[in-house]
Structure 1
Amino acid sequence: MADVLPLVETRLRTALGEPDARAAVTFLGTDRIEVLRFTDGTGGGTDTGIVRYATLGMSAQPMADPTAVVADPVAGPRAELVLSVRAGAADTDKVLRPLAVLAASPQVEGLVVAPGASLDVGEPLWPGAPFTSVLVAEAGGLIEDLELDAPLDPVRFLPLLPMTPNEAAWKRVHGAGALQERWLTSGTDLRDPSRTSVPLD
């Protein structure tokens, strides 16, 4: 069976271009997780472009149902995580380790990461960040799913949307769809690394 990760990296490069940085993190008892940084220089300067951070390694193993007695080594959803922020406004490169922690959570905690889920790292995503958690959004926009040979599930590239603590608490009560609707109607720039919470009254 083909190694999944080279195919995943090829898909990332096809969609986002060449990464300009990468870091690897290994947690005890887990496979290595890499985080690749892709910089979009549109707008003529580093402070006007978009920087994207994508994990590489989460999809090496399928995510297992935490209630299953024995994890299936082949079948099950596979995913990588993608975070997009505006470059130059904050030291967002420090997000590499928190992203790797989130990408390792299926192996460490037996989580199945899916759209609508909240993931919390328990600390600011980067120094001074007003966010400690993210909302997992639907895949398929920026990077198309990577189809694998049967019986493997496709790899989905799940966007992460940073949430303030107030937004995360509100989402727990009202749901992911309601929070995304608030963001949409308020014209929230979800890529702004220093944005404030959307009005939740």
Structure 2
Amino acid sequence: MGDDVLTLVEARLASTFGEPAGRAAVTFLGTERIEVLRFTESAADGSALVRYATLGMSYRPMNDPLAAVADPVRGPRAELVLTVKGGRDEVLRPLAVLAASPQVEGLVVAPGASLDIGEPLWPDAPFSAVLVAEPGGLVEDLELDAPADPVRFLPLLPMTANEAAYKRVHGAASLQERWLRHGTDLRDPARRTVPLDD
């Protein structure tokens, strides 16, 4: 089923963002191949908006690492989407690492979760962690034949170290409310930490 799922996922991404402008593949020992597709469009201010979407994370469902037997069909499936003004192609490998984490570490990636790669998302980036946002806004869920769960396309919102610390204490909703209140452009690769003490 896995290859058929990825064919459908790529078609959904292409119908949403257009044909990919580039792609890169990363393989980790003992895991399925993860690709990262690059889509380019123009933002409202005329700058280039680059969307990076993983392809391969949904090959198999994410299973609870404590489960005695991994279900090959049922369980949440997802791909990750990161949007960066101007693009930062050095983010391809970190994104692939995050997409491989369910296979490598047994993680179930869900909205509200924090993912930290332990190093900048790209050279000199002020972010090493991302907040997993709610799906459906950028790319519609991809329904699969029952009993398989749909593939959800999870946006990633880069967090500075201070924002990640704030989120751990106060929760994802509180951090997102601050971003909204201050009009934070989460696609800006050089943005500063949102005010956290007002």
Q: Shorter chain as normaliser: what TM range?
A: over 0.9
Measured in 1, the distance between the counterparts of 2:113 and 2:44 equals 33
TM norm structure 2: 0.96
Which of 149, 154, 165 is equivalent to 2:150? Answer: 154
Gaps of 5+ in 1: none
Code of the aligned partner of 1:153: D
Measured in 2, the distance between the counterparts of 1:111 and 1:42 equals 33
**Equivalence for 2:112:** 116
Measured in 2, the distance between the counterparts of 1:39 and 1:141 equals 18
User: Deviation of residue 44 (structure 1)?
Assistant: 8.5
Count matched residues.
196
**Equivalence for 2:196:** 200
Q: 1:44 to 1:186 in 2, by over 3 A?
A: closer
Q: Secondary structure at the match of 1:34?
A: strand
TM norm structure 1: 0.95
**Equivalence for 1:13:** 14
Deviations 1:102-144 (A, max 9, x none): 0000000000000000000100000110000000000001100
Asked if the contact 1:64/1:72 (under 8 Å) is kept, the reply is: yes
Q: Secondary structure at the match of 1:3?
A: helix
Which of 168, 178, 184 is equivalent to 1:182? Answer: 178
Measured in 1, the distance between the counterparts of 2:178 and 2:70 equals 38
C-alpha RMSD of the superposition: 1.2
User: Deviation of residue 3 (structure 1)?
Assistant: 1.4
Measured in 2, the distance between the counterparts of 1:31 and 1:68 equals 21
Which of 90, 99, 105 is equivalent to 1:103? Answer: 99
- Percent identical pairs in the alignment equals 77
**Equivalence for 2:30:** 29
User: Deviation of residue 67 (structure 1)?
Assistant: 1.6
Gaps of 5+ in 2: none
